[in-house]
Structure 1
Amino acid sequence: MKKSYLSCGLSFIGIGLVILVAAIIFETRLQSLLYSFAGAFIGPGAVMAGKYFYWTTPKNAERYREKLDNESIEIHDERNEVLRNKAGRYAYLLSLLIISISMVVFSILGTLEIIENTRIIIIYLGGLFLFQIVSLFVFHRHLKKNY
């Protein structure tokens, strides 16, 4: 396993600790968010460092090589590539459907005055909807030129 994996993990832990210290020292409305970010950096950093130490021990070296070979086969297998592409397409279509339904639901909730200020939510979701459709055409055109 590369040393960069360990250094990245330690960097995450360091950033998380800096954010944690800032959350402890400063009283702010964003304090809970700072604690969340601290945990979001420290947790994965600790996992990355732990994985590095686990896989670099001599007793796990052979298992790590086998794991890398299996991952390489899984990543480059044509069947898996087709399945990943289909899964991505289905996820994309599902997200478009959810965004559309959410716009209608927030519109109804705003009209019934159950939630106030729904207009900004609807505008945001509409923008996201348009962004996804435009990005589909841009990526498709780009990939079509390259292949």
Structure 2
Amino acid sequence: MRILAALAPVLLTTAACMNAGGAGDEAESTSAPGSSETPGAALEMAVFETCPRDWDSQCVSIHGENVLVDPSGFDHVGVEAVDQDAAGAIGVTLDSDGAAVVRRLTADASHAGENARLVTRVDTELLSAVRVRGELHGAHLLITVPPDIDAVAVAEKLEGGAA
């Protein structure tokens, strides 16, 4: 059994079994075009395709990975608890709906091909665009927040949006 792991900026891990490991690309902080800040921000994820730089106004750089981001394409990922243990890392326990969403999205991303990226966002902050190589099973994620984004602020936003 392997642990699904995405390299910086987001490291997804789980204590449960999974099919395969993953890899991600480093990114720079950016916000999704057209997205708006909401109180009690939520963890959201989506599967998008990479794109050539300047190809489209919605092609944004997420830590060096150019991804065609549709702000309306994100799925809410239900969070049960947030634990901000280490500097730059946030532990997230998903609720049953959130775990199902992550399982579906990681399966979709792993089957979508070489250009598919799992994009993670909290509020308007795009945290990562990672390549996924297998379906995630489990309810625990460790999100490594890029150094240019305040991990404590991200954790506080998630805590405000947790059920």
Q: Which TM class, normalised by the smaller chain length? A: under 0.3
Q: TM-score, normalised by structure 1?
A: 0.21
With normalisation by structure 2, the TM-score equals 0.19
Task: Report the structure, 1 or 2, having the larger helix content.
Answer: 1
Q: Which has the higher contact order (CA 8 A, sep 6+)?
A: 2
